[in-house]
Chains A and B, each alone.
Chain A
Amino acid sequence: MTFSTMLSTMADGMLKTGAIFFLTLIGSLPLGMIVALLRKSRFTLVRGIISVYISIMRGTPLMLQLLVWYFGPYYLFGMNIGNWRFPALIVGFVLNYAAYFAEIYRGGIESIPVGQYEAAEVLGYTKTQTFMRIILPQVMKIIMPSITNEVITLVKDTSLAFTLAYQEVFSLAKQISASQTSFMPFVIAGVFYFVANYVVEIAMNRIEKSMDYYK
């Protein structure tokens, strides 16, 4: 296998890695906010469920969670899991990352001084307006460095998809390396992750900079 065929075979894996990455972010960033808000719900039951959910997501390996999401439906309900590989991956990633993001959001929300809420209340802002216009923008600025950390971790975590034999970059690298007895696929995969994270860092830096106009 020439270097260029190797590269083009792996390019497909890179797209799949990208798909996991973006779908996870699109799902978990908003879901994390919902989880963070539900965690402060006035219903004890809701708060309890959310807190158990976050504990499980953070207290067990993501790899194990992925296996459970993939094989669970078969063992529990005898479901045919033929087309379930990719959805199981995304569900696993989204629910796991949402838990981490929820904790980051919660920390951010709790760090906003109560005076901000009171000033908004006296001015007559509704609860939704207060959150969307006053609180959330400030939370975003505070939590952006933590979000960057998580996003960088996610780039690397996408490789856990190999547990479900999903053909993203890392799985492909392993396969091609074994079949071709070559070390090159790992080098390509390594460069790919490195470059991807470099891009993430630049993008996140831009976002952080764009919020630098106030203190």
Chain B
Amino acid sequence: MIIEMNNIEKHFEGLEVLKDISFGVDSGEVVSIIGPSGSGKSTLLRCATFLEKIDGGEIIYMGQKAAHTDEQGNAVYVPHHEMGKFRGYCGLVFQQFNLFPHYSILKNITDAPIHVQGRSRDEAEATAMELLGKMGIADKADAYPYQLSGGQQQRVAIARALAMKPEILFFDEPTSALDPELTGEVLKVIRQLAEEKMTMVVVTHEMPFAKAVSNRVLFMDGGVIVEQGDPREVFENPKEERTRQFLRVFEQ
């Protein structure tokens, strides 16, 4: 298991957003998360990547506890100086890319490896160029984010996350901010990563993509995982009425 999240609880000012959620991801697995707006998909990813603190449950990366719940029922995280290790295990690709506008494409990708992980500039740049090549935008290394299309920016964001050599990469609706004609190029890159056995969790509304690429689909609604399983099963033969309803609305 790369990550295990057990009995995760999260609320915002009284609103329960994650209710006792448990799930794990194996090495090389690609998991898609689908579900209606407000079901807690982003919150789950943000808890997994430590952008939000859980209120209960435990988060385990590579068999090591990053957070657990003590006897008093409070979520306790490892001390600050150990957090870096856990942050290094995971990467997150945002819906809005969130590239650093004042850095060139190359610097967007090399800055954290150099200044956070202490890699050498040569190594970081070699890795970055290789990743840009894989993303099909090696010629953009010296450009700035504003000069790129949304699809290209998102591919840079993926390269930036991969440059940290994470064990698992989370995507929060990576194509939702893109024009329809640009989603394909980003999905293609994710598909390619899946073929290379990169461990990934993708929140998406692209059902055909989820069906084709993931090993497992997870349907969330109201802060719980309603149903999960093989994508063909979940899409073609959903067990739960709520899943059926959601998929039906989606097909229209």
Contact = CB atoms under 8 A, between A and B. Distances in A.
B211 interface: no
Contact of A214 (B84, B90, B101): B101
Interface residues of A, number: 19
A141 B96 contact: no
A86 interface: no
Contact of A123 (B96, B112, B145): B112
B164 interface: yes
Interface stretch (A6-14, A130-138, A174-182, A193-201): A130-138
A215 B117 CA distance: 28
Contacts of B164: 123-124
A213 B161 CA distance: 24
Given A122-B92, A124-B164, A214 B145 contact: yes
Interface size class of B (residues with CB under 8 A): 20 to 34
B144 A125 contact: no
Nearest to A215: B146
B98 interface: yes
Interface string A63-74: 000000000000
B28 interface: no
B87 A122 contact: yes
A215 B103 CA distance: 11
A213 to B, nearest CB: 7
A129 B102 CA distance: 15
A146 interface: no
A119 interface: yes
A134 B116 contact: no
Contact of B102 (A115, A122, A141): A141
A209 to B, nearest CB: 15
A121 B115 contact: no
B189 to A, nearest CB: 18
B111 A133 contact: yes
B96 A138 contact: no
Given A115-B94, A133-B111, A213-B144, A122 B49 contact: yes
Chain B CB count within 10 A is highest, among A113, A137, A214, for A214
Contact of B100 (A116, A121, A141, A215): A116
Interface in A93-140: 113, 115-116, 118-119, 121-125, 129, 133-134, 137-138
A129 B116 contact: yes
A177 B98 CA distance: 60
B88 interface: yes
Contacts of A214: 101-102, 144-146
B115 A138 contact: no
Contacts of A134: 100
Given A124-B88, A125-B116, A118 B94 contact: yes
Nearest to A141: B102
A101 B146 CA distance: 29
Contacts of A137: 102
Nearest to B84: A124
Interface of A: 113, 115-116, 118-119, 121-125, 129, 133-134, 137-138, 141, 213-215
Interface of B: 49-51, 84, 87-88, 90-92, 94, 96, 98-102, 111-112, 115-117, 144-146, 160-161, 164
